[in-house]
Amino acid sequence: MTHDDELMLVERFHAGDEQAFNILTLRYQEKIYWVVRRLITDHDEADDIVQDVFIRAYHSLKSFKGESSVYTWLYRIAVNLSLNELRRKKIRKTFSLEDSSYEQHSTDDDTPEEAMERSERSIMIKTAIERLPEKQKQVFVLRYYEEMPYEEIAKIVKTSVGGLKANYFHAVKKIGEYLKHEMP
Amino acid sequence: MKCREMEALLVELADGTITADDRKRAEMHVSACAACAADAVMLRGTFDALRGETAVRPPAHYFTNLLPTIRLRLERENRPWHIAAPLWLNTFLAPLTVTVMAVTVMGLFHLFEPTEEFSPLNSIVGQVSTEDIVALISADSDTFDSDGGSSGNGKILDMLPNAVNVAEKMKVEYLANEFPVQQTDVTILNDDTMLEEMDDDAVSQVLNRMNTGSTL
């Protein structure tokens, strides 16, 4: 979907076409889910935030001026809501790192032992990402999982490209150090 | 090139997104810098581990159901508050509303209900029938003979002693309660001769004044 296509949908929505919002939601729901899920890790919490992202977008779309792409705009909302949730969680000191179920990490071809090992490794990676400072986590998720160009990330997190590259480097390095320390 | 400036290139070198020119620069630096070489190995190992990570899947049909769920929430937001309220709240509100309405209606009824003191006739209800009073008030002149007893059926004359009795009781009641009853009215109703000389309208007016406690 091009920027012009997005703007056309936004204009349709401004004119009262609810279907335009549905199209935008269907277009981006999966991408937004994964960004939030990587940052939040728990599916149920991520689900709540994803719904909040689109509901907030619905109410704010009327004032959307098209200065950035809808995609970038949605990402910014998603990242901000996710970080707010992480801060709340940190305040409550209720980080739960053991919320991944065995089934979630297994694949159909895995033996029970392989599945267990894979699950443990995934939990460790997730833990390593969770331990990152907020900014580094944000940049890592958008860059590594979403494969987003630095220029695009810069618009979302409002940091220079040079600063983002440094953040990304340190994020990957910290994850590596954690895995080296924790993995047998 | 300083090590700090190499950071971005080392990441790109490790994840394979580096350009050919930058690769040459990075490899040249790494070959001469032990710290950056160690970082490069660490970063490559990290990306290898990350690639082995299994995607944490959401539940089946999650993405199919997401838009309808969002739509439902938007629809609920637009409903009036009493409809959008949770079921438990509505369950509580419905009987409460009915109770409040019932109490209000009963209170208003009680507020405007005429008291016995306000209506003199109520004080003697049971001693004279409503039909008698209505008949007395609505009797036409033909029925109400001037000679006091030669009417077609003599019903009104039969009723007069009862009416006088009513008036006497009213008088006692009023005086006891210091009602501003016109003594003239009581006198009229006590005087058969005066009563016989009055037309229907006059009698009605007297009874009406007695009933409402108004004065002449």
Phi, psi of A148 (to 5 degrees): -85, 135
Q: Chain A within 8 Å of B33 (Cβ-Cβ)?
A: no
d(CA B163, CA B175): 18
Please compute the mean of the pLDDT values over residues A49-77 and round it to a whole number. 90
Question: How far A68 CA lies from chain B's nearest CA (Å)?
Answer: 23
Put residue A19 in one of left, alpha, beta given phi > 0 → left and psi -120 to 50 → alpha: alpha
Among A28, A33, A34, A173, most B C-beta atoms within 10 A, so best to mutate, is: A173
Instruction: For B139-164, write each residue's pLDDT tens digit.
Output: 554 544 444 444 444 555 566 666 66
pLDDT band at residue A25 under the 50/70/90 scheme: very high
Most confident of A116-130, B117-131, B161-175: A116-130
Residue A165 sits at the vertex; the CA angle it makes with A34 and A43, to the nearest 5 degrees, is: 15
Nearest one of B122, B198, B129 to B158, comparing CA atoms: B129
User: For chain A, which domains are there?
Assistant: 1-96 (1.10.1740.10)
Q: Please state the separation of Cα A150 from the chain's center in Å.
A: 15
Chain B residue numbers with beta carbons less than 8 Å from the beta carbon of A51 are 66, 69-70, 73
pLDDT band at residue A173 under the 50/70/90 scheme: very high
pLDDT band at residue A115 under the 50/70/90 scheme: low
pLDDT band at residue A50 under the 50/70/90 scheme: very high
Are the beta carbons of A122 and B8 separated by less than 8 Å? no
Contact A89, A95 (CB under 8 A): yes
From A25-34, B160-169, B194-203, the region with the lowest mean pLDDT: B160-169
Instruction: For B31-88, write each residue's pLDDT tens digit.
Output: 999 999 999 998 998 988 888 776 678 888 999 999 999 999 998 887 766 555 666 6
Stated pTM of the model: 0.54
Buried b (16+ CB within 10 A) or exposed e, A98-110: eebeeebbbeeee
Q: Chain B within 8 Å of A168 (Cβ-Cβ)?
A: yes
Q: Please state the separation of Cα A173 from the chain's center in Å.
A: 20
CB-count burial class (<10 Å; 0-12, 13-18, 19+) for B206: buried
- Give the CA-trace dihedral at B176, B180, B183, B184, to 10 degrees: -150
d(CA A77, CA A52): 9
Residue A95's CB is within 10 A of a number of other CB atoms, namely 13
Mean pLDDT of chain A: 83
A vs B, Cβ pairs < 8 A, gives 93
Which of the two residues, B40 and B204, has the higher pLDDT score? B40
pLDDT band at residue B206 under the 50/70/90 scheme: confident
Measured between CB atoms, which of A22, A30, A179 is closest to B49? Answer: A179
Domain residues of chain B, as ranges?
3-51, 62-112, 120-212
Residue-level pLDDT at B201: 79
